[in-house]
Amino acid sequence: MKLVFAGTPEVAVPALDALIASGRHEVAAVVTRPDAPAGRGRRLVASPVAQRAEEAGIEVLKPVKPRDEAFLARLREIAPDCCPVVAYGALLPRVALDIPAQGWVNLHFSLLPAWRGAAPVQHAVMAGDEITGASTFLIEEGLDSGPVYGTVTEEVRPTDTSGDLLTRLAFAGAGLLAATMDGIEDGTLKAVPQPGEGVTLAPKISVEDAHVDWAAPALRVDRVVRGCTPAPGAWTVFRGERLKLIQVALAPERTDLAPGALGVGKNNVYVGTGSCAVELLWVQAQGKKPMRAADWARGVRIGSGEEVGG
């Protein structure tokens, strides 16, 4: 088939690579978000997908909005059979959805109908799911509600951050998306409507969602930290400034600390929660680089009775 691939961030690159490498289909063009400011200089930088497409000599389309007439006209000229999508980042209007004969097929990082929305991997980690996965489905105008072509499953490991899990799903999902294109082309794959039961939503995680509640059980604190790593980053407040929490570990042996209370040893830093304590392993103070929590504690000289939170 002739394909137009839509995607933007680094997590979409493995799927583009898989489609290019398959040799079975022609990736005629790539649709991605416009160049965005990045780095200290805030200069405009092309998306990871755009950079990879340019390396491969593939035409890159960067509409400000996918309903722009110039973009729609070019898409009609290309006349793709199908448009595979991975984390494109913009809603597709009906007029665009109708152009490819086989529609737009999205790779979504959950086992639909679970975790429909922008942050499925983060929500899976924060909810304590033991199994998640990826799904390919035909895009409709509803939120991730279209019929499903195929799925792959992936175990959520006890120490997984959302970044760890998303990296594995990006590669597993790339193979699934390539296989889905093959199945659509040869007619062996039919999309199956999603069940009406088991629908959960995964809206974007806000900075406030990543604010750790020390009155919650330690298991919840650990899940929030892992689910919000690397973005938006779990955080608390210490001496009136934000302290980013990069990695913690459950400390069931410490039940003597009130929620938010700090307990500092020679090489360990503990914080009380609504159950047992957690040990802070890696933190990042405002304006500083990430560091081991024990080194941070020595630098700030935590006094008796000090706490985090607020």
Q: Is 55 exposed, middle or buried (0-12, 13-18, 19+ CB in 10 A)?
A: exposed
Q: How many CA atoms lie within 13 A of 57 on its CB side?
A: 1
- On the CB side of 107, CA atoms within 13 Å amount to 35
* Cβ-based neighbour number of residue 131 at 10 Å: 11
Other Cβ atoms closer than 10 A to 90: 17
Find all residues with CB under 8 Å of 204, minimum gap 6, and list them: 117, 118, 119
> Exposure pattern of 34-43 as b/e (b: 16+ CB <10 Å)?
eeeeeeeeee
For residue 112, say whether it is annotated as part of any ligand binding site. Answer: yes
Is 145 assigned a ligand-binding role in the annotation? no
Cα dihedral value 261, 244, 220, 119, nearest 10: 160
CA–CA distance, 28 with 46 (Å, rounded to integer): 19
Residue type, 188: T
Phi, psi of 220 (to 5 degrees): -65, -40
CA 226-122-181 angle, to 5 degrees, is 130
Was 111 annotated as part of a binding site? yes
Instruction: Count other C-beta atoms under 10 Å from residue 84's C-beta.
Output: 30
Rounded Cα gap, residues 127 and 307, in angstroms = 27
**113 among the known binding-site residues?**
yes
Q: Which residues are annotated as a binding site for (6S)-5,6,7,8-tetrahydrofolate?
A: 110-113
Q: Which residues are annotated as a binding site?
A: 110-113
